[in-house]
Amino acid sequence: MFTVKNEFTLTESRETLVVGIFEKTTSFEGLLGEVNTALGDTLASLVKEGDVSAKKGAISKIHTLGKLETKRIYFVGLGKENDYNFEVVRSAFGKLVKAAQKAKVESLDIALDSFITDKVESVDVAHALGEAAPLATYKFADYKQKSNEPAKELSAITVFTNGDQVEVEAALTVGFAYGTGTNSARTLVNTPGNMLTATDLANYAVELAGTYNLEYEVLEKAEMEKLGMGALLAVNKGSVEPPKMIVLKYQGKEEWTDVIGLIGKGITYDSGGYSIKPKDGLVGMKSDMGGAAAVLGAMEIIGQLKPEQNVVAVIPATDNMISGEAFKPDDVITSMSGKTIEILNTDAEGRLALADAVTYAKQHGANYLVDVATLTGGVIVALGNKITGAMTNNEELFEKLLEASNEVGEMIWRLPITDYVKERVRKSNVADMNNSPGRDGHAIFAGAFIGEFVENTPWVHLDIAGTATTSAEYDLGPAGATGVMSRTLAAFVERFGEEE
């Protein structure tokens, strides 16, 4: 999709040229000066009259009317230079490629240096472009009848820069990997539950392993029974679909040590079981495997970029259905760890699946754990739809993950685990703990429940129930699945071993 060139001239014939412009530009220098001269010194008046806007995120398109070999110029508003940063330019590129896609533009020539400042270097701009291009143009291949007419799509972006060509190409490649990995996660979440069963999810993971030379393991129901995975198996009891425990391993070091465990909730559809959801709550529950999708998206990015870090991904996969064999409130089950659980709510099933997955990840040598799950409606009540809830038992690990989330622009906010919360989770007359202490503090209870199985292993819990999907189009994507946390997890793994 990307080509990088050092030589640039306005006399070259091209479909489009893209130039960045800041607010309060008092004089047009460099490329802007050349464009202004070629247009007969009209750029200042175009800006003054609003035909070209330098406001943050504004996309202005003008036709050159034969005054240049370029037919059209897209001016990308970057706002005030003092407020300019990576997120601003990535968002701007998202709006640019959306506008180009809508106009059925098939190629863009981008003057990369017009987006560079002292604070935002060429590699930052290139990464932002590489990431924004696939994210903003993502479309889910739906199941509507299709026209035979081939659609025109943005397929070629040429980047012109005076900077180091190799470094810019590398940054574009990294950004593109982040974008495409996230899009893969989006597609998984957007896929209907009848087309993405636990078996389908396992097959996808195996294909991913083959593409990126990852080790893999898929446990079947009989193997889970031998290993005593009673928590995951309880969730599966009402289903006609067999459960899968999916494991992917990426080894970036010579020895299998210092291993990060990424755990993703893979409930491919959640009816709530006998604690059935209301009818409106059932719609959208195909997205309850958003944590698994985030982990698989991250593993795709990791597989492409090959960081020097060891990673094991563990995904407990099943649906949560109702039948004569389904588990029910008042049941007592035994998890893989040996801890017993009193079931008070069958709709609190994700934490059960994650309990066995966490235990299994530790058996695979995970020294650090990060679990990702569309776990609770309570986190939406607490934090809304733009912020992922987080919990931890280790300050240093949390700070590393927080830094990664800030780097990629996926906000997380920490919730507490107190002795009172632990006591509520452990309260049961018949078992070691219960799976649903109450609606008050629901998101916190869910995370603390998982923490009981993590024990002393450094761990961060991420509840993406509010952020896994969006109801509205935004700069970096359409309505639907967001692929949230794929990039955060990948950046976390990439940066994990770096010196402070």
Q: Of 98, 351, 400, 424, which residue is the catalytic one? A: 351
Q: Which DSSP string corresponds to 129-182?
A: HHHHHHHHT-----SS---SSPPP---EEEEE-SS-HHHHHHHHHHHHHHHHHH
Q: Is 494 annotated as a binding residue?
A: no
Q: Which residue from 176, 127, 168, 182 is spatially nearest to 1, judged by alpha carbons? A: 176
- Give CA–CA dist 404/191, Å, rounded: 28
Which token pair is 38? 């070629």
- Give CA–CA dist 192/409, Å, rounded: 28
Q: Is 102 annotated as a binding residue?
A: no
Q: Is 288 annotated as a binding residue?
A: yes
- Give CA–CA dist 39/52, Å, rounded: 13
Is 424 an active-site residue?
A: no
Burial class of residue 322 in the structure, from the number of CB atoms within 10 Å of its CB (0-12 exposed, 13-18 middle, 19+ buried): middle
Is 14 an active-site residue?
A: no
Q: How far is CA 290 from the centre of its chain?
A: 9
Q: Of 61, 277, 328, 495, which residue is the catalytic one? A: 277
Q: Spell 32-56 as b/e; 16+ CB within 10 A means b.
A: beebbebbeebbeebbeeeebbbeb
- Give CA–CA dist 110/16, Å, rounded: 8
Signed CA dihedral, 456, 459, 465, 466: sign only: positive
- Give CA–CA dist 108/168, Å, rounded: 17
Binding residues for Mn(2+): 265, 270, 288, 347, 349
Binding residues: 265, 270, 288, 347, 349
**Which residues are tagged catalytic?**
277, 351
